[in-house]
Structures are given as C-alpha cells and as structure tokens.
C-alpha cells in the first residue's frame, strides 16, 4: 500500500480518479478513510505520516490565526469558500508544512530532517 504522501501526490495530479473532483472536503474524507484502512490492515504509519496527522491541523490553526477544533479542511474553507480553490490551497499549505517541519526526500521516501 502506498504511503500517504505518495497517495496525495497521485490525487493532486488526477483528483477525478481518486475523489471525483478537486475538493478539499472530499480530500479530507478520503484521507480519513485512508488512515482508517491502514489501521484496519495493521499497517503502521511512518514518522512523516504521524507528523502530518498530529501536527498539520494545529500548524494550520496557528498559520491562519484561528482557534478551533474543526478539521483542517474546514479551516481552509473558511478562507476561500470554494472547494477547488481549497483543494489547491491544501497542496500549497502541505508543501509549506513539510518544509517547515523538515520533511525531506522524494515523495515516496520522506524522512524527517533533524
């Protein structure tokens, strides 16, 4: 099974194939389902995936200056009000997040730089 970042790269290139349309809300639901499927199959998350699941939403709250327990998808939608623009914004924000926490390497082999 591909890791999260490999799947996200595929979705970015062909959203219709994976989630039907470029939509940040649909992407969020896909990612939740993906994480659940991996846990059901007893596939451990990588360190980079754990960082994403644990730190992306709090990082986004801080970046946007919002205090909320809502999902990162809803936080993105608060600033753009358009699913497609939100989808595109997610990938820009993800790149910034990965750079900020030191995720380096190819998409299929991300490591955390210390």
Q: Are 22 and 87 in contact (CB under 8 A)?
A: yes
The pTM for the full model equals 0.86
Residues 6 or more apart whose CB falls under 8 angstroms from that of 114 comprise 102
> Cα(113)–Cα(99) distance, rounded to whole angstroms?
10
Predicted pLDDT at 2: 79
Domain boundaries, the chain: 4-112
Mean pLDDT by 10 residues, the chain (114 residues): 90 98 98 96 93 96 91 95 97 95 61 50
């Amino acid at each position: 099974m591909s890791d999260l970042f490999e799947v996200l790269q595929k979705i970015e290139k062909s959203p219709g194939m994976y989630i039907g349309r470029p939509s940040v809300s649909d992407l969020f639901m896909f990612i939740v389902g993906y994480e659940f499927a991996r846990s059901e199959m007893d596939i451990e998350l990588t360190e980079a995936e754990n960082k994403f699941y644990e730190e992306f939403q709090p990082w986004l709250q801080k970046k946007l200056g919002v205090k909320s327990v809502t999902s990162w998808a809803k936080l993105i939608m608060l600033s753009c009000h358009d699913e497609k623009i939100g989808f595109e914004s997610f990938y820009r924000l993800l790149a910034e997040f990965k750079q900020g926490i030191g995720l380096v390497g190819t998409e299929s082999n991300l490591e955390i730089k210390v």
